[in-house]
Amino acid sequence: MPELPEVETVRDGLERLVVGARVRDVEVLRGYSVRRHDGGPESFADQLRGRTLTGAARRGKFLWLPLDDASALLAHLGMSGQLLVRDGADPWVHPHLRVRLHLDASPSGATALDFVDQRTFGYLAVADLLPTPDGDDVPAPVAHVARDLLDPLLAPGTPGRAAVVAAVRRRRTGIKRALLDQTVVSGVGNIYADEALWHARLHHARATDRLRPVEVARLLDAAEAVMREALAVGGTSFDALYVNVNGESGYFSRGLEVYGREGEPCRRCGTPIRRSPFMNRSAYWCPVCQPAPRGANAHP
C-alpha cells in the first residue's frame, strides 16, 4: 500500500504538472471507484466539469486537489491506485483505467489526469473543504486524520512533536499499533513502521505507556528520517502497482533494513531478521537489536 512518501511524491508531481488546469470533462469508467462520492458517478462528474485545480495537498495518505469553489477532488490510492498525468491524445489506454479527467490549460501541456487502480481499493470523491482546529482546510472525510511527521508544525522541538509523544504514551497498546494509528500521527504504514522501530532499537510489542518520552521521541525522529530518505528516491516500489505521476517506480526498497528480509542478516549485528504475524500483516525485527519485552512471545 502506498504510504506517506509515495503519496507525497504523487502530490508533488500533481502540483507541478496540473495545478492551474481546468477540468473540461470527466469519464467514470468504473462507478465503484467513486463509491465514496455522495450522489454517484453523474454527480461526481458534474461537480468537476468547469472547475479549476487550484492546489495539491496531502495529510497522511490522503491527497486532494482543491477546486475554485471551496471543495476538493479527494483521492485515496488504496492498495494499487495511481494518478497518472497523460496526453489524452495518446490512443493507448491503461487496462485498469477507472476515471479520466480531461484537462485544459495544464501548465505541463498534459490533457488528461487518469486514475488507474488494479485492485480497486482506492477511490476518488468531491468533498467540501472544512476548517480544522489545527488551522487547515481539509476535505470532510479527512477531518479525523492527524498531521504527519513531515509537517513543519510537528518538527522536532516543537509543541506539536511533544504533543505526539504524549499522545503515544497515553495509549495502552503496543508501540507499532500506536505508530500506525492515523488519529495519533498520520502517514506511517507497515513498511516504514518496521524500519523506524529497527532504527530506534524498539520491539514492535513494547507497551506505549511503559516507554520513556525519550524513547518515543527517538522513534518519531527515526520514522521522520526514514520517510524523508524514501521521499528523496521517490518512495518504495515492490512491483508496478506504485508509480509516480509519470509512471516511474520508487527505489527505496533497495535500502530497507528489515522489512521483507526474514532470515537475512541484520545489517547492524548480523543476527537473522525475524518475521511475526501482526494485524493480518507482518512485523519484521531483529531479535538482538530489538529485544522482545519481558513476558512477550515476539507476537503482538
Q: Which CATH architecture has domain 152-285?
A: Orthogonal Bundle (1.10)
Write out pLDDT tens, residues 271-290: 999 999 999 889 999 999 99
Q: What is the pLDDT, as a whole number, of residue 248?
A: 47
Q: What mean pLDDT comes out for the span 138-153?
A: 93
Residues noted as catalytic: 2-3, 61, 281
CA gap 300, 280 in Å, rounded = 11
When pLDDT is averaged across residues 4-14 and rounded to a whole number, the result is 87
pTM of the predicted protein model: 0.83
pLDDT digits (tens, 9 = 90+) for 147-187: 999 999 999 999 999 999 999 999 999 999 999 999 999 98
Amino acid 238: pLDDT: 33
C-alpha cell at 92: 493507448
pLDDT at 253: 53
Answer with the residue of higher pLDDT: 248 or 264: 264
**Which of 237, 180, 219, 247 is closest to 6 using CA atoms?**
237
Residue 249 pLDDT more than 70? no
Helix axes 213-232, 4-17, angle to 10 degrees: 40
Q: For domain 4-142, give the CATH number.
A: 3.20.190.10
pLDDT of residue 133: 81
pLDDT score recorded for residue 232 = 80
Mean pLDDT for the stretch of residues 50-56: 98
User: Would you list the domain boundaries of the chain?
Assistant: 4-142, 152-285
